[in-house]
Amino acid sequence: MEKDVVQMKNITKKFGNYKANDDISLELKQGEILALLGENGAGKSTLMGMLSGLLKPTSGEIVINGKSVKMENPRDAKTLGIGMVHQHFMLIPAFSVLENIILGDEPLKAGHINYKQAAKDIALLAGKYHLKIDLSAKVADITVGMQQRVEIMKALYRKANIFIFDEPTAALTPQEIDQLMKIMRALSDEGKSIVFITHKLKEIKEVADRCVVIRMGKVIDSVKVAETREEALAEMMVGHKINFAVDKKETNKKETIFKIDKLNVEAHGQLKIKNLDLTVHSGEIVGVAGVDGNGQSELIEAITGLRKIKTGIVVLNGKKIQHQSARKIAEAGVGCIPEDRQNVGLILPLTISENLVLKSYYKKPVSNKGFLNYKKINEDGRQLIKNFDIRSQSEKELVGDLSGGNQQKVIVAREISAQPELLIAANPTRGVDIGAIEYIHEKIIEQRNAGRGVLLVSFELEEILKLSDRVVVMHEGQIVGEIDPRDTSSEELGMLMAGKQLAE
C-alpha cells in the first residue's frame, strides 16, 4: 500500500454562518489520481483552496507527507510541493513560454537570469513527462492546450509532487483532452499524486483511480472508479436521478430563417472569417463546433453587430441586417447568450431586474419620456425570476451575488423573453452545474420546438451532438464540414475540428 501524501482530516470551512465544507476528510495516496466530483457550489473549489493555501480551514487538520501543516498563503503550498493548475490560466500573454515558466523562480547567474540553464532543465522535464511545449513561443500565440501544458510545466519546474487540476478539460478539444490524460498518467507513473476536479463523468472513468463525491459541502462517498458506473456517479453528485435524454419533437416546417452569404470579417488586421456561408432554418438547432479561436467569437460578434463586417450578406427573415447597430439587429430579432457571461452578458453590480431589462430598458412602457419606470422594471423582474426559476432573494439582489448557474439563467430569461427569431447561444452551459445545464438545454430546445432558429456555438462536443439537428465545423474562419449528429461520434468530430478531412 502506498503512503498517503495528503490527508485532510475533518475539515470545516465556514463563511459567516454558511458551511462551504462540513467535516470533510479525504486522503490522497502517492501516485494516485483522485477525482473530486461535485456540482458547482458543492465545495470542491473551497476544499482545494485550502489545500493550495488560498483559504484557511475554520477547523480540521491538513497533513502533508505525514506532517501537520498550517499554510498561510499559496507560497507555503508551493514550498510543500503542491502545484495548482488553474481553470483560468495565470500566464502573461506578452511573455514567452520560457519566461512564464520561470517567472518568480528565475535561476540566476551573476545577477542575470540564466535562460540557458532554465531551458535545459525544462527540456529534461518535458521529455520525461511527454509535455510538448515550444519554449520560445509567445503565450499569446499558443493554443489553449499548450497553455495548459505550460501551467503543468510551471508546477513541475517548482518540483511539485502533488497536482491539483481545476476543471482542466473545459476548453480543450477531444484530442487535447486525450493528450492531457496521457500526461496525467505519466505524472502518476512517476509517483506524482493528482487531484482532478471535474464534473465530467467520462473523464473520471477514463483516468481516475478513485473518486470522492461532494454534495452541499459534505463527502457523499468515496468509490473505486473501476467498480462504479457513470450513472451511479451522476446520481451521487446531484442527489437524484437525471434525465439524460432530451425531448426533441419532429418539426416539419423548414423555412430559411437566417442566412449568411460569403461573410468576411477582420479582427486585429487578420481575416478571421473567410467567405463563410451558413443557413439556419426555422425549428432547427445548428451546432457550430470548432476549436476555440477559429473565428467563432468573431462570427457571433459580426452577426450581432459588435464587429464590422468587411464583405458579405447577413439576412434574417428576408431582411438584410448587416452593417447595423447592435440595437437594430437585436430589434430585428436576434437574441444572443454571449460566451462571457460575467463580462459581457451581465453588469454584475446592477440588480437582477436591471439586468433583465438591459436590452429593452429604452422602450415603452419601461421608459417614458426619458424616465424609467422602476416599479414596472421590478414587477417584470419578479415575473421572469419566477418563470425562469432564478434562485435569488429578491429581484433587487445584485446579479454579482448569484451563483454562476443562476447568472446564466438571468441571461437566458432576458434573451428568450424577447422572443427572438434567431437565438445565438455561445457556450451556454460553460461552468454551470448539472441542474442548470438540464434547464438551459430544455429552454433552448423549447425555442427550436416553437419554430425559431438556434445557432449553438459550443466547445462541449457532447452538448453540440446532443442538442443540434445539424452540426457544422469551423476551422480557421471557414466551415470545413457538415455532419449529422445522429451518426457522428465526438472522435470523428474532433478530427474535423482539428482541420483533418474524414476518411470516407
CB of 372 to other proteins, least distance (A): 6
Positions touching other proteins (CB under 8 A) are 15-16, 18, 20, 45, 304, 306, 325-327, 330, 336, 338, 340, 342-350, 354, 358-359, 361-362, 367, 370-372, 374, 393, 396-404, 407
* Helix intervals (H) in 286-418: 296-304, 326-332, 352-356, 374-387, 404-417
CB of 15 to other proteins, least distance (A): 4
Q: Please name every residue paired with 456 in a beta bridge, in sequence order, or none if there are none.
A: 287, 425
3-state secondary structure 333-347: CEEEECCCHHHHHCC
CB of 212 to other proteins, least distance (A): 21
Indicate the residue among 271 and 347 with the shorter CB distance to other proteins: 347
Indicate the residue among 284 and 298 with the shorter CB distance to other proteins: 298
Reading the block at residue 16, the C-alpha cell is 459567516
Indicate the residue among 294 and 408 with the shorter CB distance to other proteins: 408
CB of 400 to other proteins, least distance (A): 3
Cβ atoms of residues 96 and 175 within 8 Å:
no
Phi, psi of 305 (to 5 degrees): 90, 10
CA distance 288 to 2: 46
Indicate the residue among 244 and 362 with the shorter CB distance to other proteins: 362
Indicate the residue among 359 and 409 with the shorter CB distance to other proteins: 359
Q: What is the dihedral of CA 399, 401, 403, 404, to 10 degrees?
A: 50
Indicate the residue among 384 and 467 with the shorter CB distance to other proteins: 384
3-state secondary structure at position 292:
coil
Q: Please name every residue paired with 26 in a beta bridge, in sequence order, or none if there are none.
A: 8
Cβ atoms of residues 398 and 346 within 8 Å:
no
CB of 404 to other proteins, least distance (A): 7
Question: What is the strand order of the sheet 4-15 is part of?
Answer: 18-29, 4-15, 59-64, 67-69
Indicate the residue among 16 and 66 with the shorter CB distance to other proteins: 16
CA distance 465 to 438: 15
CA distance 423 to 411: 12
**Residue 351 per-residue DSSP state:** B
CB of 143 to other proteins, least distance (A): 24
Indicate the residue among 243 and 393 with the shorter CB distance to other proteins: 393
The vertex-286 CA angle with 283 and 288, nearest 5°, equals 165
CB of 234 to other proteins, least distance (A): 24
Cα of 290 vs its chain's centroid, Å: 14
Reading the block at residue 120, the C-alpha cell is 535545459
* Contacts of 254 by beta carbon, 8 Å cutoff, 6+ apart: 281, 282, 283, 284
- Long-range contacts, 485-488 (Cβ 8 Å, 24+): 485/287
CA distance 6 to 71: 13
Indicate the residue among 16 and 269 with the shorter CB distance to other proteins: 16
Indicate the residue among 100 and 406 with the shorter CB distance to other proteins: 406
Indicate the residue among 168 and 345 with the shorter CB distance to other proteins: 345
Indicate the residue among 232 and 348 with the shorter CB distance to other proteins: 348
Interaxial angle between packed helices 404-417 and 434-449, expressed in degrees from 0 to 180 and rounded to the nearest 10: 10
CB of 326 to other proteins, least distance (A): 4
CB of 304 to other proteins, least distance (A): 7
CB of 395 to other proteins, least distance (A): 13
The vertex-476 CA angle with 470 and 479, nearest 5°, equals 25
Cα of 247 vs its chain's centroid, Å: 24
CB of 415 to other proteins, least distance (A): 11
3-state secondary structure at position 221:
strand
Residue whose C-alpha cell is 467498480: 227
CB of 381 to other proteins, least distance (A): 14
Please give the single-letter amino acid code of residue 320: K
